Structure 1
Amino acid sequence: MEPVSNSFTVDLRRLGVLRELARRGSLARTADALHLTPSAVSQQLAALAREVGVPLLEKHGRGVRLTGQARILLEHADLMAAQWERARVDLAAWEEGRRGAVTVGAFSSAVNGLLPGAVRALAAHHPDLGLRVVEAGAPDVFTLLDAREIDVAVAVDFAAAPPRTDPRYSRTALLADVLDIALPADHPRAGRDRIPLQDLAADAWIVGDAGSCCGAVTRSVCAANGFTPDIRHAVDDWTALAALVESGLGVALVPRLVQPLHRPGLVLRRPAGPPPVRHVFAAVRAGSGADPAQAAVLDALRTAAAEAAGPTPAGP
């Protein structure tokens, strides 16, 4: 490997590949996320290593892992990405009265529960600004954000999302989305206003995939209440989940962002004690927060979140 030069140049796109590898942990998963082949990812990283003159990968079992030099380079890559965002914002702000569109990536229930309100708020206050929507959950929504395929990511704080201290993003808290219990109308506990979750430990449960935000939150909430749910059905679509609950095939936790579900054979009840919640936030690339269009969209999302927060669950 050539020694580090005082005048080396770096392809920012290759830095993006390195950042994605740090997120995904393997060449294969990085290739899938970037729609490349593993060989192309390896070539990009080998070229980047030649550019900076230090090894970036080392063998680890059957795969590879980042070297210490690679992690140092990533720290600088985050700072460079943020500075480029600031430069882009400064150039965009030069044009007064700018028109355009902001692309938002959001998980499915945020698309249903937040984006319509945000569109109404933008129409009222920023009629010349368009909003485009892409449905995506973590971690994919952050890959899209890094690749500039979207401008704002709306996500839930759980294991697949970046930590709050991640320097690549600037976060805006939107709402604490309360989860209620969905029961068949003829369930023995359906007549109660509040139900201890422990009382449902022996029931069949309908839960989303463990990699999804609600699937992960349901599992963690049940664990915090002292039991592992007996998952009989794995469903990520809320309409399908409601239909299964109504049919008597199990119980579920349902976030208020997707309510009301309007099914006559289903009731929603509050859990006893502190309500389980999932924390919804918006993120933009670090350094881009002063972009007037993105700021307008974040304001609209906050307005929509305030409208969506805390609806009272409906009965049958």
Structure 2
Amino acid sequence: MEQISTPFTVDLRRLAVLRELQRRGSLARTAEALHLTPSAVSQQIAALAREAGIPLTEKDGRGVRLTGQARVLLAHADLIAAQLERARADLAAYGEGGGRGAVTIGCLSSGILGLLPDVLTALSERLPRVRVDVVESAPPDLFTALDGGQVDVAVAVDFASAPPRTDPRYSRTELLTDVMDIAVPAGHRLAGRGRIALRELAYESWIVGDPRSCVGAVARSVCAAAGFTPDIRHAVDDWAAVAALVEAGQGVALLPRLVRPVYAGRRLALLTTEGEPPSRHVFAAVRKGAEKDAVLATVLEELRACSHP
């Protein structure tokens, strides 16, 4: 008797929940990121496990972790998602005008300050019928939004919360290396030096952002590499506020060159560090396959062009 195989079907939305669980590492954090309850996340994962006929999670202490089968399933899901994005791009190119009516760019705050104004000006000339919206966001939330379609292009920096360069879900475009200078008050004892060893600031008060942010993490790591833990007196993420506090003599800080427009008029001194300067790498990402979309290809082209004027 001929054996009839059971059709293999899975819900792509449930795959997205599983992917978020892999990214966040816990049901609670996954639920928070997706604006669901932990119970709803568990139900989605359980339903996907029934559809696929495999166990997807296993106990890990008081939490859960993905099984090997779940990771295999997600690897195939990446390929499926990329093919669907290529189909979307082909259909957009087939239609009259060859493109979508709106694009949303998710971007870190310093990129909005130092990069996007020129990009948006160029896009208004090249894509006059396309609406371009901007959302301030950073990893991991930025890539959750990219996966979910709330964002079409993600502009981010390489650090722990960002996906690795080898992540098969995304097509990545390298943009620039953003060097960070040391900002000290204009009357500081080192203000006229130009170049210093970072350890000369070991006994200074520091103004440093959230450790979960890229610059906050970089400041802590470069100080540690120089042999000291910074005395963080002010925890501030807003660049204009950081510059104002430095100007007021409240401490020293690392300021990215990308945000120079917000501190160019301040009375402070910018110093470079001896050796390799602290820096961060800025890149753009779209969902794999979406780089074939004519409109998104134009956005990526202008991001590259404005990163290297």
Q: Name 1:313's counterpart in structure 2.
A: none
The residue type equivalent to 1:33 in the other structure is A
Helix, strand or coil at the partner of 2:203: coil
1:76 and 1:181 map into 2 onto residues whose CA distance is 45
Q: CA deviation at 1:201?
A: 1.5
Give CA-to-partner distance per residue, 1:84-107, whole Å, 9 cap, x none.
Answer: 111111111112423512110001
CA contact (8 A) 1:184 1:251 kept: yes
SS of residue paired to 1:103: strand
RMSD, aligned α-carbons: 1.3
One-letter amino acid matched to 1:50 = R
1:77 positional shift: 0.9
SS in 2 for 1:187: coil
By how many angstroms is 1:51 displaced? 0.5
Counterpart in 1 of 2:166? 165
Q: Which residue of 2 aligns with 1:127?
A: 128
| Pairing of 1:229-240 with structure 2 (within 5 A) | 229-240=230-241
Question: What residue number does 1:69 align with?
Answer: 69
Of residues 134-143 and 96-105 in structure 1, the stretch that sits farther from structure 2 once superposed is 96-105
Aligned to 1:182: 183
In structure 2, the partner of 1:115 is: 116
> Relative to structure 2, which stretch is displaced further, 113-122 or 141-150?
113-122
Residue pair 1:121, 1:303 contacting (<8 A) in 2 also: no
Task: Name the counterpart of 1:207.
Answer: 208
CA offsets per residue over residues 190-249 of structure 1, 9 Å max, x none? Answer: 011222212112211110000011101112222233322221211001111112111211
Equivalence for 1:297: 299
Q: Give the fraction of aligned pairs with identical amino acids, expressed as a percent.
A: 67
Q: Are the counterparts in 2 of residues 102 and 131 from structure 1 also a CA contact under 8 Å?
A: yes
Amino acid at match of 1:62: R
Name the counterpart of 1:49.
49
- 1:251 is matched with 252
Indicate the residue corresponding to 1:11 in structure 2. 11
Which stretch of the first structure deviates more once superposed, 78-87 or 267-276? 267-276
| Matching residue of 1:226 | 227
Deviations 1:18-77 (A, max 9, x none): 000000000000000100000000000110011011111111111111111111111111
What's the offset of the Cα at 1:251?
Answer: 0.3
Distance, in Å, in 1 between the alignment partners of 2:274 and 2:69 is 51
CA distance in 2, matches of 1:71, 1:203: 47
CA contact (8 A) 1:242 1:263 kept: no
Partner Cα distance (1:106, 1:220) in 2: 23
Return the alpha-carbon distance in structure 1 between the equivalents of residues 73 and 189 of structure 2.
59
Whether the aligned pair in 1 keeps the contact of 2:243 and 2:266 (CA below 8 Å) is no
Q: Take 2:117 and 2:221, find their aligned partners in 1: how far apart are those partners?
A: 29
Distance, in Å, in 2 between the alignment partners of 1:292 and 1:263 is 40
2:278, 2:67 → 1: CA distance?
Answer: 40
Judged with a 3 Å threshold, the aligned counterparts in structure 2 of structure 1 residues 93 and 264 are, in CA distance, closer, same or farther, namely closer
List runs of 5+ in structure 2 lacking aligned partners: none
Q: In the alignment, what sits opposite 2:98?
A: 98
Quote the Cα distance in structure 2 between the aligned partners of 1:122 and 1:264.
31
Q: CA deviation at 1:263?
A: 4.6
Q: Is the 8 A contact 1:167 1:286 kept in 2?
A: yes
Q: Structure 1 length normalisation: TM-score? A: 0.93
Counterpart amino acid of residue 273 in structure 2: P
Partner Cα distance (1:31, 1:46) in 2 = 15
The amino acid across from 2:232 in the alignment is I
- Equivalents in 2 of 1:195, 1:125: separation in Å? 44
What secondary structure, in the 3-state scheme, does the structure 2 residue paired with 1:121 have? helix
Whole-angstrom CA distance in 2 between matches of 1:96 and 1:155: 32
Q: Distance in 2 between matches of 1:301 and 1:222?
A: 32
